[in-house]
A and B are shown apart, each in its own frame.
Chain A
Amino acid sequence: LAKTTQPISMDSYEGQEVNITCSHNNIATNDYITWYQQFPSQGPRFIIQGYKTKVTNEVASLFIPADRKSSTLSLPRVSLSDTAVYYCLVGNSNYQLIWGAGTKLIIKP
């Protein structure tokens, strides 16, 4: 099972682009990279998932280099409401996912 390493915390300001990088050196060939967001006292919410190169949806982009040993979640023009914990997960099924402590992102005015 692939473990991930991501920063414990990050700060940024409203309107900035935020990039959170995740390391997953032992990712397997059939593993996907999935990011979740969690607000206090709520369940996690799916943000984005990718396998290689770049994936973009209405809330974020996910950049994955060719070797797939890392990935970067990019949040464009963040607001105060983006303050949350962000989890990077690697696996090909929900029962294989290992949830680390995540990255606590704090957005300042």
Chain B
Amino acid sequence: NAGVTQTPKFQVLKTGQSMTLQCAQDMNHNSMYWYRQDPGMGLRLIYYSASEGTTDKGEVPNGYNVSRLNKREFSLRLESAAPSQTSVYFCASSESRANTEAFFGQGTRLTVV
């Protein structure tokens, strides 16, 4: 049972480049989330998907887009990367949006130069 799988684990982008972070869960969870974590800080919610077919903005959505491809997969896209988006990105899932027991992936460390 893999849980939540994120790819890639590391990425370096040049300013202005685009990329998509992939996330998949095998727990049949309805809700999925994308967070970012900056050094020494807690997580901040970027976007979430309460259920398949829906997405909503979180605390820091600017500069990002998401796609809930199916129940398993939730991707995060940076259309034009900026140095301020250098961070560690975590994908998570939970049974429902009201369930605060979330399962997290191992993270993607993104550096924008």
With contacts A32-B100, A34-B100, A94-B99 taken as known, whether A44 is within 8 angstroms of B43 at the C-beta atoms is yes
Q: In the complex, are the beta carbons of A100 and B97 less than 8 A apart? A: no
Q: Is B27 an interface residue (CB 8 A)?
A: no
Partner-contacting stretch, out of A13-21, A63-71, A84-92:
A84-92
Contacts of B64 in A (CB 8 A): none
Interface size class for chain B?
20 to 34
Interface secondary structure of A, over-half rule: loop
| Nearest B residue to A45, CB-CB | B104
The number of inter-chain residue pairs (CB within 8 angstroms) is 63
Q: In the complex, are the beta carbons of B101 and A34 less than 8 A apart? A: yes
The interface bits of chain A over 21-54 (1 if a CB of B lies within 8 angstroms of the residue's CB, else 0) are 0000000000010100000011111100100000
Q: In the complex, are the beta carbons of A99 and B100 less than 8 A apart? A: no
Instruction: Compute how far the CA of A54 lies from the CA of B56 in the bound complex, rounded to whole angstroms.
Output: 34
Contacts of A10 in B (CB 8 A): none
Q: Is B53 an interface residue (CB 8 A)?
A: no
Q: In the complex, are the beta carbons of B33 and A94 less than 8 A apart? A: yes
Interface residues of A (CB under 8 A from B): 32, 34, 41-46, 49, 87, 89, 91-95, 97-102
Interface residues of B (CB under 8 A from A): 4, 31, 33, 35, 40-45, 48, 50, 56, 58, 90, 92, 94, 97-107
